[in-house]
Amino acid sequence: MFFDFGVKDFIDILLVASLLYYTYKLMKSSGSINLFAGILVFVMIWLVVTQVLEMRLLGSIFDKLVSVGVVALIILFQDEIRRFLLTLGSHRNVRRLVRFFTGHIEGKVEHDDILPIVMACLNMSKQKVGALIVMEHTFPLDEIIATGEEFNAEINQRLIENIFFKNSPLHDGAMIINKNKIRAAGCILPVSHDMNIPKELGLRHRAAMGISQQSDAHAIVVSEETGDISVAYQGQFYLKLSAEELETLLTKEN
Ligand SMILES: Nc1ncnc2c1ncn2[C@@H]1O[C@H](COP(=O)(O)OP(=O)(O)OP(=O)(O)O)[C@@H](O)[C@H]1O
């Protein structure tokens, strides 16, 4: 007996595989990989109980759990689902399409605005001034901005350095930059509890990782201890960057 296997089925399998891979990547970057693994194990047990062993009583309990499970999943993963849709909308190809029709990209930081940020980081790195700068992209950070001091200033190298200067009232916490404006400083970021973050990295780095797991922002850290410049982006650390590497990373379309 032959399977009626056509191109459509092949595309179907390919799409399901990509969906699973993308979900895995998203869960990994947001630190919920154990939850994802737990759900997979549950689905496998459910399939074995209902399809292979055909246990009716246990099967009917699992069936009930699965029927309410979809709602539970939406509640559990609401941040991840939101991020997934935002990332989909901000994907390079979709942005190209938007640029084709509108002529510009909403939320994109121009190269001229990146240079003062890179220069400020370089200076702070040399003087070992600690800094935490978040570049907001398509995922809105209004709730984070509300935790700090809001203003609407042009991006300026001196201003960035002054804010993070040790005696400045706003040096503690994170600065949020959106497009060509510094939107706030002294903001509190969510701290990542990821066990894989190296032990020598403290709260500033964990806060950078936290925001990168919950949004599509770039979070730049200048270490007060070592002067190292690092970036957390999409749940990944890019450590000990040179000025050129930082510029390339920030200029790259996400
Ligand atoms: N949740 C947070 N949101 C924003 N900023 C934070 C947060 N937690 C800590 N910080 C900032 O990090 C500073 C403390 O950094 P800490 O020394 O613990 O981190 P670190 O990663 O070791 O950095 P460094 O290498 O600069 O010492 C605080 O003074 C504060 O400015």
Locus of tokens 């399809």? 51
Q: How far is the CA of 185 from the centre of ligand 1 (A)?
A: 14
Ligand 1 atom with minimal separation from the 226 CA: 25
Higher confidence at residue 2 or residue 165? 165
- Express each pLDDT in 105-150 by its tens digit: 555 566 678 999 999 999 999 999 999 999 998 888 999 999 999 9
The predicted structure's pLDDT at residue 194: 80
Q: How far is the CA of 132 from the centre of ligand 1 (A)?
A: 8
- Mean pLDDT, the chain, rounded, equals 85
> 111-251 domain in CATH 3.40.1700.10?
yes
- Is the C-beta atom of 130 inside 6 A of ligand 1? yes
- Is the C-beta atom of 225 inside 6 A of ligand 1? yes
- Is the C-beta atom of 223 inside 6 A of ligand 1? yes
The predicted structure's pLDDT at residue 89: 66
pLDDT at 2 over 60: no
- Is the C-beta atom of 63 inside 6 A of ligand 1? no
The predicted structure's pLDDT at residue 103: 58
- Is the C-beta atom of 132 inside 6 A of ligand 1? yes
pLDDT band (50, 70, 90) for residue 205: very high
What residue ranges do the domains of the chain occupy? 2-102, 111-251
**Single-letter amino acid, residue 162:** N
- Is the C-beta atom of 204 inside 6 A of ligand 1? yes
Q: What is the pTM of this model?
A: 0.72
The predicted structure's pLDDT at residue 102: 62
